[in-house]
Amino acid sequence: MTAALRITPVTLADLPRLMELERESFSDPWSESAMAATLEIPVVRALAARRGEQIVGFVIAYLIPPEGEIADICVATSERGQGIGARLLQALTEESDCTEFWLEVRASNLPARRLYEKQGFEAVGLRKHYYDYPREDAVVMRLCRGEKSE
Ligand SMILES: CC(C)(COP(=O)(O)OP(=O)(O)OC[C@H]1O[C@@H](n2cnc3c(N)ncnc32)[C@H](O)[C@@H]1OP(=O)(O)O)[C@@H](O)C(=O)NCCC(=O)NCCS
């Protein structure tokens, strides 16, 4: 039987697995030192999707209410298409006090763009030649959730 999925906070002990997922997911992955330093920033919130003991996806965001910035999200190649990316984004946005979220995504990354659109993000801008390896534009996307009620 497949273990149930749990969404829980990332700890520094998770860094090696996060780097494995990062390297399998991106042509221009974060360095381990950048990832470690980011996880220590007080306004950074990082959540992992865990199946049993194994991390199968994660999301990292800067949360400075009222705005949040999604900095990184990825799901293990073998676990994609099962709603894990959507659950990570929902958990992050629902638990935070932010009413507006921003992110950049490679223009050609249609799976990610669809994921974001399905979560309510809208394309609001373009940053030319934002990415390297390969050189590519970024689409800027924004999610507005209105004021959160108490
Ligand atoms: C983008 C990513 C995180 C999506 O994670 P996932 O767990 O596979 O996504 P989900 O299963 O939650 O999919 C949610 C929605 O996204 C869209 N989507 C996901 N994968 C897709 C694909 N390959 N093609 C088209 N749409 C896709 C669909 O609309 C899907 O909803 P649906 O299944 O009801 O149609 C994953 O593909 C990934 O890790 N990619 C590499 C890293 C990356 O590009 N991160 C984003 C950087 S900005």
Q: Could you tell me which residues come within 8 angstroms of residue 97 by beta carbon, excluding any fewer than 6 positions away?
A: 63, 65, 66, 148
Binning pLDDT at 50, 70 and 90, where does residue 3 land? confident
Question: Which whole-number Å values give the CA distances from 96 to 7, 41, 68, 91, 101, in the listed order?
Answer: 14, 16, 9, 9, 10
Task: Work out the percent of the chain whose per-residue pLDDT is above 90.
Answer: 94
Closest CA to 20 of 70, 81, 75: 75
Angle of helix 15-25 versus helix 32-39 axis, rounded to 10: 130
The answer to whether residue 133 is catalytic is no
Ligand 1: list residues with CB < 6 Å.
Answer: 25, 73-75, 80-86, 105, 109-112, 114-115, 118
Tens-digit pLDDT profile for residues 72-111: 999 999 999 999 999 999 999 999 999 999 999 999 999 9
Nearest alpha carbon, ligand 1 atom 23: 111
Domains in the chain (CATH in brackets) are 5-144 (3.40.630.30)
Residue 1 is predicted with a pLDDT of: 67
